[in-house]
Structures are given as structure tokens and as C-alpha cells.
Structure 1
Amino acid sequence: MARHTQMLSDIIKGVSDVSVNCFNWSFHDVEEEGWSSVRIKSLSFFFFLFTPASLQTHTTSLNLLISATDNMVFSVRLRILLGVILLSCIQSAMNENVDINTLSRIQRFFHFNYFNGDQYAVAINVPKQQCQSEFYPNTRNFLIDDRSEEVKPHTGKNMSVYTGKQLIAAGVDKIDDKHSEYLLMYPLNNSHLTNLLNTKKDGCVVLYTFLSPCIARCLNNNISPRRDIIRGLDQLGAYQGIKAFVFTHIYYADKTNPNLRHELKKIADRVPLYYCNENGCILCGQPGSNVPVIDECLRDP
């Protein structure tokens, strides 16, 4: 059985897109002693450290592992178990969300360093560890190349988009009537956001906007010329690392809009959506959920 375990280890290590420390098992020979004698001494879910190109890559990896076990003396049930565990590892990594307490600290960092008195939006792509629990951002350990004095002038009205190493930022273009989120996301596939996403494929991307995207234009893909951000949200949603879309206030004209919940769901269906203020952050909704955007995200004191 040791030979089979080594073969499995070699197969897993040979999958180019996956770094694994997921299996630490000890088996008795299934064929000789039966299913009940298989003992999993320890199953250490350090899960996978992915640099995935796509889910299709991981599906290929799963098929490779399962087909390879066909040549071993494992029972059908054991091969199914291996497949389920591998798929579980993959799904856990791909569905990882930002730590909500850390996100609250990041939002406060944005507001303290980049707020210029009116609507603005920023997006970051940082190492995923900076979006996990117990990270406390400050100017010595977070966005150290995107200083407040360099970024803040760009978050005012009618200023150019700031493009840094880990951060992009924009205010509102009153001259050409373009909102800050749109300025970051377009032109599609060649935008500031596109370039930011490409800097780190497995990091943490947070797009923060002071005001929620407006319903009449930003979330409306039925007007011409198109000035909505729907396709930009699709691009953000396709990012393979941790991702979040965050706002602090409801856009002024939308506070009493009866369709507000439905319109914000357009964001949540594509990217995990959070409402953050001085009291902390709330998950409003996320892709794959049929739950409507929660009431707490519709109230703007």
C-alpha cells in the first residue's frame, strides 16, 4: 500500500497548477483487509495554494487523479473518496472570502488616507494574507507604495485616474460625466482594473466605492451609450483570488428607490458585496446565493 500512497503523492505533485499539502494518510491494504481497515490517521486540510488559470484546469487535475487510481488496487469507494476530497479542497480555495473584520480595517484605511470630501472609488490587489484574519493595515505594512499624498489628489473631481503598484483610484469626472467606478473599469479588458487584476492572479482584490453604484446608469445596461459597470463586475467576478465589492453609503438618488434591493443584487450575483461603515462590515450577498440583499445593507443613516 505504501507504493500506492507514493504513486498518489507523485500524481498530485505532478499537477502543474496545484501545490498540495492536503493528504497525510496511512492505509491498510484495501484489497487484502477490506474497506473497514482503511484508516485515515490524519487529514490535514492545509488546502491548496492555487495559481489557477481556470476551474477547467482543476477539473482536468481531478480527472487525472481519478483515472490514475483506476490502475491501482483501491476500491471504487476509496477512489470516490479521493475525488470528493480533492474537489472539496478546490472549492474551498476558490470560494474563500475576505475576513470581514480585516475588511472593516481596510475600509477605514481607505477612508482615512484617500477620502477627498466626495465620491471616490479605489481598487487594490494585495497578497491574500492581507485580507485574512488578524491583519491590521497601516502605512508601514499596507500599500506602502501608494501614499496618501500621492493618491488623494486623484480622488477629487475631474482628476486623472491614479495608477499605482497595488492600487488604482478615481474621483468623479464631471466634465465628461463619468462616475468613479466606470473610470476604473473601462475600457473593458484594457482598463485600469484589468491591469490591476493581472498583477497578481491569486491575491486579494477589493473594489471600494464611497457611494453605491447608481441605479440609473452604473447598474443599467439598457441605455445607449452604455456607461454601466455590469461587464466590469463580470470581469471582477471572474478573478480567481479573494475578491470583494464594498460601499459605505447609498447613492443619494437611490435611497428611496423601491428597486434598490434588486439592483444591488446585480452586484452580489457577480462579486461578494459588503456594506462597511464606522461600525464594521456586513456581507450583503454573494454569488450563488438565492437570498436577497439583506435589509441592513439598504439602510443609510
Structure 2
Amino acid sequence: MKSVRRSQLCKALLVPTSLLTILLYLGVQSTERDVNPAALANIFKYFADNVQPKTQQQKEAQYAIAISVLRAQCTDIHADIQNVFSNKDAKHVKDELRKEQKCVLCTDSRNVIAARPNHTTDEHSEHVLLYPLGESPMEKLLEQADQSSCVVFYSYNSPCVNRCIRGKDNILNGLLNWINSRKNGMNAFVFEEIWKKGSKNNLEEEFLKINAIVPLYRCKRTSDGMECWKCVENNNVATFCLPENK
């Protein structure tokens, strides 16, 4: 009788242990797909210094860029972005953006796409890179990437609510298209400045929608260089990623 009870007890304990193992495995998998904000800071400091286009008034201009790199570039703070995106390549991309030309794998490294807003059609730069579905610049970039790489998409301004999330330049399907092809890959969507025309409540709601598809980060220039922050934890948007209270 004691033997039967011991056997039943062991079986009862096996189920929670197996479940715990699965949950721990999933947790490890999630961690393995998380980028290191400090490593992102190195990438975007380099972009700010070498790629960022200017307006005619010499202010920072809106643009979007995506890059596929080795995972170490997104996790190791000592990794050198110039090993996968040289100064020569960065200058070429900046020159194309200055001419308001679109870069689609236009460098020797063939791991970068970039665009400014299309002033002829009024299409926003994020939308330019993510559409049309089936033949977008982003899909051409992803063809060059595998699941062991890190793909980072950056927009200088945060996506605007009225056009980029709820309007004709809605980017959510484009983001889904990206992630569906890289479900086990390391991916990040990054912005720098908060688009001034979005209210805090609206931005919070829309940032949650983006983060539900792809992890959302903000990188911002500071007196010390560049600081990056994960925008959403436990379904809460970090204050770093929202407008300051005035």
C-alpha cells in the first residue's frame, strides 16, 4: 500500500517538474532573443555620428534604417559595428539619404536598408521600408539574414499615431510580416525622438501594439553619448519612452 502511495506521489510531482522545465526553457529562449540596450547604444551612437541626415536648416532629419548583423553586435558591448558596417558604407548610405534616395542593400556589406520620407507621395520612411508586402526593402534585407542574426529597425522619430499606426501608412502589418519570417530570431524596433504630435495616452497605447509584435526600445543621445532603454516591461511602458510631463 505504501509502495502504491509513493508511486502516486512521484507521478504527482513529475507533472509540475516537467511544467517547470518547459517554463524555464521558454524563459531561457526569451532571454536569448533579448538584445542588450548597452550594445544597442553603441550601434545608434555610430548611426548618429555617421548616418543621420540633416534638414536644410541643419537639424536632425527624419529617416528610417534597418540593419542585419551578428547577434554579438546586439549583445556584446565590446562588439565593433564597423566590422559589419564600415565607415565607407555608412558614408554611402548618408550620401544617398542626403539626396533623398532609398538605399536597398546599397553597400558592399549588403546588410542595410534606409529611407527618408517620400515627399512626392508623402509616404513615411518607416512605411517605405516595410511595404509593399511581398517585395519590400525589409523583405530583401531578411533574405540576407538567418535566424542566428540580429535585425534592428530604427526610426529617428517614434511612429506617429494618426498615420503610422491608425492611418494610411499603418506599419503594423509590415512589422508582422517581418517577425513572422523570424519568429526565433533576435529583433528590435528602436526610435530616438518622441513624435511631438502624439499624446502620452495615445503613444502608450500604440507602443504596446508595436511591442506586442517586436520588442520596442528607445535610444536617446545624452551628455555621456547614447542611452537605450527597453520600452515595455510587464505590459507597462517605461517613462523613458514617453513624453515628459510639462
Q: Percentage identity across aligned positions?
A: 30
1:204 is aligned, of 144, 150, 160, to: 150
Change in Cα spacing, 1:136 to 1:86, as seen in structure 2 (3 Å) is: same
Matched position secondary structure for 2:161: coil
Cα distance in 1, alignment partners of residues 42 and 104 from structure 2: 22
Shift of 1:152: 0.8
SS at match of 2:190: strand
State the match for 2:28 in structure 1. Answer: 92
Which residue of structure 2 lines up, in the alignment, with residue 218 of structure 1? 164
Question: For 1:161 and 1:116, how far apart are their aligned partners in 2?
Answer: 13
Q: Indicate the larger mover: 147-156 or 89-98.
A: 89-98
Matching residue of 2:85: 143
Q: Are 2:185 and 1:241 equivalent residues in the alignment?
A: yes
- Cα offsets for 1:242-261 (capped at 9, x unmatched): 1111111012332x465222
Q: Distance in 2 between matches of 1:147 and 1:250?
A: 28
Q: Quote the Cα distance in structure 2 between the aligned partners of 1:272 and 1:278.
A: 20
Shift of 1:166: 1.3
Shift of 1:77: 5.3
1:107 aligns with 2:36: no
SS of the residue 1:174 aligns to: coil
The amino acid that maps onto 1:134 is I
- Of Structure 1 and Structure 2, the greater strand share is in 2
Higher share of residues assigned helix: 2
Name the count of aligned residue pairs.
Answer: 222
What's the Cα RMSD here? Answer: 2.9
With the length of structure 2 as denominator, give the TM-score of the two structures. 0.78
132, 143, 162: which is aligned to 1:187?
A: 132
Using structure 1 for the length normalisation, give the TM-score.
0.65
User: What does residue 124 of structure 1 align with?
Assistant: 67
**C-alpha deviation, 1:136, in angstroms:** 3.5
After the TM superposition, which parts of structure 1 deviate over 4 Å for at least 4 consecutive aligned residues? 74-84
Checking the alignment, whether the CA contact within 8 Å between 1:109 and 1:137 is kept in structure 2 is no
Letter in 2 for 1:106: I
Contact 2:63 2:117 in 1 (8 A): yes
> What is the one-letter code of the residue matched to 2:41?
S
Q: What residue ranges of structure 1 are gaps of 5+ in the alignment?
A: 1-33, 36-73
Deviation at 1:79, TM superposition (A): 8.2
AA paired with 1:267? I
